[in-house]
A and B are shown apart, each in its own frame.
Chain A
Amino acid sequence: MNKAAFLIEDLLKPEKVPTRDGYGKGLVELGEKDDRVVVLCADLAESTRSHWFKEKFPERYIELGVAEQNMATIAAGLANYGKIPFISSYAVFSPGRNNEQIRTTVALNNMPVKIAGAHAGISVGPDGATHQALEDIALMRVQPNMTVIVPCDAIETRKATIASVDCCSGPVYLRFGREKSPVFTTEKTPFEIGKAIVLREGKDLTIVGCGALLYNALLAAEELSKEGIEAAVINSHTIKPLDVATILNSVKKTKAVVTVEEHQVAGGLGSAIAEALSQHFPAPQEFIGVHDRFGESGEPDELIEAFGMGVKDIKAAVLRVIKRKS
């Protein structure tokens, strides 16, 4: 492990907390220090954890009802006036359903609206395909002016939520999961938007991941180490702007890369990395993610395995990519 990343001491015994809890905590902290911050929600206050802000600052919480398109335009108006709005819903609805409103009234207008997409990924579980956002990173990353962040655990989510106000004069997309997931970073772990973190050093290949699946990537790297393969693991929490320098620095040494994300392999983190590497340092790449299919109902862990994103799948991808090194 990279000591400078200050991960938890025993990787096998993490506490488990949903990433959205970090969003709720971050909002309350922001509410206390910045009275421009307002929180909007489309009938999902508890699920998105925006109810914690509502309890503390009821006059700065705005309920929209089931109206995500309106939530985006109202937020654009509030930001136009001088507020810093956070809009909270499930990612399938926001930035899914309201994508055009975000494009025109938030991104093209370059408004400091922060878009919180909860319940992203297949690990949403029993709710099934309609509620499992697997394309939201792609939708957000192609919009000019937009910053895209996928935090890996509840602590990093809290940091990202707070940092999203000062980082950017324009809009930011923050993506969360539903399930409790391992908290493997600590308060000491560095976090800066646009700066990837090397979690583990390694000479044989580079794993670049984002979100809760990074935990699986770390477990895979540990197991591989016992088999004599040393994988570097990089947390690329910011997908846009991508920290090309940190990723290149590693891939130039390892000459192979595996990307790991709970998203369609088309258009997500893996695509962003492939775009960067093909320009600067072409290298064999394997993609862990969802391969052009919708999700389905099931238990989160079961679905992660069934859709090929488990620890064993990451290990298999590592072996494949190493074979492809020339």
Chain B
Amino acid sequence: MSHYIHDEKVKELEAKANEIRQSLIEELVEAKSGHTAGPLGMADIFTALYFHILNHDPKNPDWPDRDRLILSNGHICPIRYAAMAHAGYFPIEELKTLRKFGTRLQGHPEREKLPGVETTSGPLGSGLGQAAGIAYGARMDLSAGRQAAPKFRVYCAMSDAEHQAGNLWESAMFAGNNKLNNLTGIIDRNNIQINGMTENVMPLEPLKAKYEAFNWHVLEVDGHNIEEFIDAVEEAKAIYEKPTVIIAHTIPGKGIPEIEFDFNWHGKPPKPEEGVKFLNELRTLGGKIKSEHE
């Protein structure tokens, strides 16, 4: 049992995650391109972030004391957009503009297009450095004892495969060396990448030992267990000497049984008829309950 969240709240968040997954499928069907597996796999974590963890204000996205959520693997932005829309940053209807000309919801997220998106991202490996830069800057002001010194935390969501990029480890070394305890990394350990399974393409393991060797505190959780994830985020706040990284083991495509674990769904959207089927599965929780639409 969690010290940090009640069972009822967990159930509420799980229901919200399901709604967000439905919006995600609708968003991707309409866009006709984009990534499906990663965003579905991160739906529970983004729901927990936007509806429980982050100290934020959707009506005031530039609020200086907001927690910063840096999304490093920009290609999973459809889940961030869906969570942001449900949290009230913009109308849910706008999700249908994803990847279309003139949209604020670019194929890879852009800071200058959509308020609430902290950094432009897509090219992998560069989010952690920016997150560490923000964390370092905030700590400089705290150390200098400025009256307006901020007290926010910085979260950086990363993919597992982007840990094949060298510059990410330069940033990990910097954050560990500087003991950036206001920074929490979140790794979507879903084991897939475009060319196949990560351990076949270029192995990442032992990932935990690698981060420990870079002077990070490392936690591993089931990325679909919202309670476990929230507990890990709370534990990270109590670690003083090190930044913390949470390795969240997730199932790519989570929520749609027939595409779970299939790397072929990394970079394509559902076709309209697949969309109808997937939405029905989400509404009936994979046939466990009867849908009102049946």
Contacts and interface: CB of A to CB of B under 8 A. Distances in A.
Interface of A: 38, 59-60, 62, 64-65, 67, 69-70, 72-83, 85, 100-101, 104-105, 108-110
6 contacts: A67-B170, A73-B132, A74-B129, A78-B134, A81-B133, A104-B126
Interface of B: 110-112, 118-123, 126, 128-138, 140, 143-144, 166-167, 170-171, 173-174
A73 B126 contact: yes
Most chain A beta carbons < 10 A, residue from B120, B129, B131, B132? B129
A65 B136 CA distance: 16
A76 B129 contact: yes
B110 A101 contact: no
Nearest to B154: A77
B26 to A, nearest CB: 28
A53 to B, nearest CB: 15
Contact of A62 (B119, B128, B136, B143): B136
Contacts of B138: 81
A80 B119 contact: yes
Given A60-B140, A67-B170, A105-B126, A74 B120 contact: no
Contacts of A74: 129-130, 132-133, 136, 171, 174
Given A59-B143, A64-B174, A104-B120, A78 B110 contact: no
A109 B119 CA distance: 7
A73 B169 CA distance: 12
A81 B120 contact: no
Given A77-B135, A81-B137, 18 more contacts: A38-B140, A59-B140, A64-B174, A69-B129, A70-B129, A70-B170, A73-B167, A74-B136, A74-B174, A75-B133, A76-B130, A77-B129, A77-B131, A77-B132, A78-B133, A79-B133, A108-B120, A110-B112
Contacts of B144: 59
A176 B142 CA distance: 34
A314 B112 CA distance: 45
B112 A77 contact: no
